[in-house]
């Protein structure tokens, strides 16, 4: 889709497109209403500005748009079932050893139990071992710090997806 097509599509179609980038309904609505964008850069800048004004419940809604990693089988399957815009973001996990996959699955469960939301990381270009190291480094954080970390990772993800969108 081109930026021109996104700018000229219906409101509902635009919402559907933006929902593929981030599942916060407040963010999606604000992005769809803000059209037309004069450039990709202005769209990306606006996306960040909207994100910065959202609250915790909006962030949690966005996090819920990511599949939860509950066990090794779902970890392996997670990346095969992502949408086209998410393709390639976490492909390094497919090449991970069973030991790393088990540690990631356990770490994700520990993270969810501690913080009440799933571990979010912009995985583009990262190996499973690197993601595991990031997860282990973030587990000792308090909830407020981790909410901010996760929100920043979500921002990186939607920025990449917006660029793929147009």
Catalytic machinery residues: 66
* Burial zone of 63 (CB within 10 Å; 0-12 exposed, 13-18 middle, 19+ buried): buried
* Burial zone of 73 (CB within 10 Å; 0-12 exposed, 13-18 middle, 19+ buried): exposed
Cα separation, 22 vs 91, in Å, equals 19
Cα separation, 145 vs 87, in Å, equals 28
Closest CA to 132 of 115, 107, 111: 107
101 Cβ partners below 8 Å, 6+ apart?
72, 75, 76, 93, 128
CB atoms closer than 10 angstroms to residue 148? 12
């Amino acid at each position: 889709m081109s930026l021109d097509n996104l700018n000229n599509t219906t409101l509902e179609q635009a919402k559907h497109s933006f929902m593929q980038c981030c599942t916060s309904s407040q963010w999606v609505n604000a992005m769809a209403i803000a059209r037309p964008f004069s450039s990709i850069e202005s769209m990306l800048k606006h996306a960040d500005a909207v994100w910065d004004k959202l609250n915790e419940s909006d962030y949690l809604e966005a996090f819920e748009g990511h599949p939860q990693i509950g066990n090794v089988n779902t970890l392996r399957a997670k990346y095969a079932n992502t949408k086209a815009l998410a393709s390639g973001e976490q492909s390094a996990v497919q090449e991970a050893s069973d030991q790393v996959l088990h540690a990631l699955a356990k770490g994700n469960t520990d993270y969810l139990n501690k913080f009440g939301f799933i571990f979010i990381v912009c995985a583009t270009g990262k190996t499973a071992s690197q993601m595991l190291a990031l997860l282990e480094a973030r587990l000792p954080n308090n909830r407020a710090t981790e909410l901010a970390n996760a929100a920043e990772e979500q921002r990186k993800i939607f920025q990449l997806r917006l660029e793929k969108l147009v």
